[in-house]
Structure 1
Amino acid sequence: MIKKLQNREKLSTTYLWSIFIVVIIIDFLITVALFSIYCAAQISTAAKNSVSQLEQVRTSTDILFESMEAVVNQLANDADTATFLLGESTNRLREAAVGLKIRTLCTANPYLRFITLYNDTSKRFVSSGYAGDDIKLNAQEFYDRLGDQPYVCFFRPIGDAYNVQLNKKAMAYTFVFRINLKPNSGSSDLVIIDVNESYFNNALAPIRVEEHEQRVLLQGTEQEFIAEMSALPAQELFSVAAGGSGADYPEAKSMESSGSMFFHTPGQFWFTTYVRSAKVGWTFYNMLPYQVVLGALVTPAILTVTMTLLTLAFGYVLSRWLSTHLYQPIKALYENYVDSAGEKKGNELELLSQAFSDMYLKADELERGLIASFHESKNFYLRALLSGERERVQGSLSTYRRLGINLNAPYYEVVVLECVPQEDMSREVGGKENLFIPYYALENITRELMGPALGVEFMRIGENHFAVLLYLEEPQLNDTLRQGLETIVDLMPREFHIDTSICVGQVVDSWMDINLVYEQEKIALHSRTASHYGRVFFAWDAPEAMSSDLYYSGLHTRLADCVRSGDLEACAREFDQALAAMKEISFKSARTYFRHILMSVLDVFFAALERDNEFFSKMMERLESLDRCENVRALRSVFLELLSSLSYRLSVGRKNSNQDAALQTKAYIDEHYDDPELSLRMLAERVQLSPAYLGRVFTAVTAYAFNDYVNQVRLEKAAELLRNTRMPVSRVSESVGVLNTNYFYSLFKKRYGVTPSAYRKGGCGKEPEEAADE
């Protein structure tokens, strides 16, 4: 008994820790995910704020640069300055005048420390701080730094360069511009502008993060670092030093105008943001230790850890509850066994076994249902592809990718199969064809034999019709795939008693042309299966096949004859035959071809329509709508609709001349309504018109369709017989020419709202208008 209790306790503990470990893993993953989101949000916010502050510094620099460009332009356009720069000898009076001019410009711009001109020919300097000849500037150093650039900037001490500079340790940002007033001399002069160090210190003051170490770098146009501003935690302002190079300086690899990056120096990790100036060509870097950016995450981290501990506590309680409930069936089994003999006290074991069996069966049914649902969903989207529903396909590209339907294959081939069970197979299953196994085998055989293709899609499109979509690497079926189709045709009747005919269409290079090939194959399979029964054949395998460069000249003539006779069914057949005969033609080319055919048909009837401008304009509008058709079904519908409108318009012109024929037909129906053989075709022969045309003339003259008028006359006579005689309903039906009594009942109730028997009992039925209202 003690051993049993120990085993039960051990099993319960196993359940508990198994569930609790899962809870710990999930809790850990959620914690890491949440904290990662917090970190990403904090870093993104810090980057945006830092970039925004650097953009203000960039704006200040752009304004400074524009001011210096304005100074250079004023000096270049000033007469005294130009005279000095063009001079080849020393003229102190002229230099004094230029010095006053420069001093005026320097005074107008308080952030400019000195402005200096250098004449390369006379080797003379003139400066706003000019006092005698004591200007210690090295012109060659400026030319070396300038190189081929239009300007250069560097950070340097200016105390020894100018004798009027009192603070000999003063530093300045020196901008050197090239000015060339002697284009043919082969040399250029210089404009040297020294900007106070305090200008950038003031511009950078707003971005100083107090109580933390910080570095700001200015990088020039040639990727050189002009200056480095740094501040320790106790400093309020930046200390400026000349820039350098090496591993202590970052480099923004991205070509974006601004951004953030990670940078590491010995002993420190830096969160670095940068902004580029398109005008000056500089890059500004703001570097802060990473702990500054992540310092704001302390509170969220504490909250996250607290929530983690709370959820772990809740998870432990939930784990104990689940382990207890999961252990109850096992506990019941332990209680129904004895230790010595091991015999059961009850049938709980069988019940538990049966429960597990039921669970597995349900799981299996669920799996099969999911698989069937996947196949149904895939077939739905395959049908949209075969039917040419372009808007649906283009709006569901992600779904097609998820279902594994390749819309980017190099080439496509559509194959349509027709399967007809043999007679002996029908007899074996008692006259009811159980085709699930043969059709399932057909799908698997097809997928296996078409394996060399890039991919295979198989779907059922009718009771005994199947479509196969192949993804190909080359614009034709290779010998392996052709032999595979021949194997299917040979194997299915031999092994499964199913005669199989396979129609192969042209290879296309776009999914938009799949619909055209599919419709061609359906037409070809319907019209040529008798001659190609049980074989592999091509959709264009017929004498009337045509290619894209061959004009099917007789089609518009035959269509014109059909329009004259009002035979729209013949028009539809002509359309299908022309579509099936096309070879190596895209859907766009087929649409253009049928548009040309319609225009040719309109030309045939131009003489009859030339006076009816309104109708002709409407026809041209419908012709334009042909170009908006996205698939063969829409193309066929618009094509036949236009021919129908044309036929109706022509019939209106002949209406008066055939009115007598319609009236004769009406009189014949009134007199011979009891003839079961009464039909439109019979009466058309009497008046020597085509059935379709007579039907339209009859409707135009009497405002009744032929069958509606015949049924009305017969039902009125039947109602009269029911009221005035005791003749059985079946005899009444035969007396008015309706041999099928059930059909007579249906017609009578539809018109009068009651059955013939009820009509007779009531003496009279409802009027047709009343029945229709109900």
Structure 2
Amino acid sequence: MIRQRLIRYSVYRNMFLSFVLLTAGIIALVTVVLFALFSWSTAREVGNISESMLKQNSAVSSVIKDEVYNIGNSLLADQQVISALFDSNNDQLKRYNAMFALRRMQSTYPYIQSIGLYNGLTDSYMNTTGISYDQERPLLRQIVQKNSSYFNLFPRKVTVPGSSTDRQVLTFVLLPSYYSLIPEQGAILINIDSEYIQSLIGGYKNGAADELFVVNAKGQVLTHSESERFLTDMSEDANIQHILKTEQESGYFTDGKHQLVTFVKSPDLDWMFVSVSDYKNLLFNMNLLKWSALGLAILIFALSLGVSLWLTNHAYNPLRHLLDKMLPAGKTKLGTMRLNEFALLDDSYSQLKERLSAMESAASRGQQAELVQMLKGGNPLQYERFKQQFPAKRYSVMVILVDKLSAFRNNRDAEARSFVYAAIYKMAEEILGHNEARMAIAEEGMIAGVIKASDGPNPTQPGSAFMELQSRIYEQLGVSVTIGIGSSAHEYDELCASFEKACTCVQQRFLHGAGQIYFYGLDEDVSTESKEYPHKFETSIIEAIKSQQRFRLNREIEQWLLGIRDCEYHEALFYMNQLVGSLYRQFHARTLRDHTVSASFSQFIHHIDVYETLEEIGDSLKELAHRLCDEMEEASNTRYKKIVTDIRMFVEKHYMRPDLSLEMVASEVSLSRSYVGKLFKAHCQISFNDYLNEVRLTKARELLVSSDMPVQLVSEQVGVYNTTYFYTLFKKHYKMSPAQFRQQENVGTGAVQ
């Protein structure tokens, strides 16, 4: 039975496929979202681990700095080194003794590549590895000119005598004269091999990291897991620029190459330790997770097929019963041919409609249909037949438009509406004269007609007949109408143009009000220049919504509407769409969690051309803007209540910590101290410190009653380590000391017992 329905009945088949596609889409969406959430949480944990491991590397900077200071202090404490450093005679014996001391120090620290001593008095230089004064001349000149601090660092490459390759070193320069009253210049140069620093970092290196390196504040590489990158300028690298700009001391982020970048800034030196890892090396077993999620999704989809079939049967039952009632008994049983249920119903409905239409006046309907077709662009033959039946030298087209059509449609059923339309065009023919006008119902809410016009290109002049027609329609039918009169026409093309101009005339009710009579060329304001969009008032409307200034909001909307009142109709609609689009972009992403407000935007846009007057569309715009204000206010209150609740829960959990303070709580909720203090007091009617003391005193009271714990220990248990201050707080709050309170409670308990 089910298989036969799926094959033969297209609607049943489409319903089943729709349910299947719906469930498949939901399953796919849920699976993708869960997988994405898992990937995100895993990446976050990996980032935290990578950051923690990299923080261990930052200790390298402290170790190196301390070692350099120790070496420098040891050398400055050596009399032989000092003698050579400030020798004004360039004594060779002093130089020999100083060299011996420097080499002894180098042998003590194997990671030192070389040690140099510069004497500013004699402009001489010595080095433990034989590096000459000429080789060091640029650096020494830079040191003498700079002399800005005691401790200086110069990463560079040096050529050691007897070696064919340059050595990568970090040269730490100590300037004793910086802190000394001695005017002469002198310097100690300690060259540490960069490979030694890389070996220290490598000891902490995460096995998943692809790159591990150190850069200074200028973005220059001091050491790198790839030794050829030494002294490379990475200041233009996007990742390094991000690290240099951020104020965080450590952290991690992902770049556009699916890599996890972790950084830690050294507190001792202007070094930044950076590791770069490929995501695929960090997230393990992701393929297994993908296939598991896919398998689970397929299993659930298989189960959903049965559910879709059950839903299709239940949803199809009303249509099946309707087919059984409306169609002949054998029409749905046509062998094995495929059927379209809606086509069968449409065929039956068409036959019924034809039988009903045959009961109406065929002649009257035919004349009206031919007149409407002629006005909307039929053919010249229709116009020639019309001229024979209704002769005149010139014609004008009039259009009668029912005002407030939506309310009119909602308050009357189809039969009553048809009666009103028929009555309007009969009244028009009666008042204007059957020999002077031919009327027809053009479409719902619109009655069109051709009237005889005076000679000349100008349209029919205003007369009492049109005002009498408006008045009688309102008095007898209770319906307000707007009338538009087109230009005078002699030829068929001119008549069609007159109809279009009459329609343009009645559109003016949007800007100038309904219930009026508009004449083309007289009342229509034809402007060839587009009016400038009122950007200033749009900005003011957005600011009023953000600041919750509802009175100002209404005023700014009125000013905006006034700014487009002189526009052409379609231009005004375009500007209205532009304003609503701006409001949607400004507030949709972060504000419109209420689906009803979002739906209001959609409804406003889809029905914007239904509004008949600028006042109507202004009222709807104000309603929409005020709903945005309500939604923003509700969202703000909800967020503030949650923040205060989180603060109170944090205090309840950590009240025993002596360092618990408003700063700590503000850090927990990622807000400033002053803002949290004001927010807490506004919602709880009590300051944060008073609330903290109240919680602590309540806990202390419970401990005093339920235990024999000394008062000092009770004070420490609730986070107040100053017993005197605890006594003061307790007595101020309970009007007695802790000991008196315990004694009173014990007496009361004993009396009860």
The alignment's TM-score, normalised by the length of structure 1, stands at 0.39
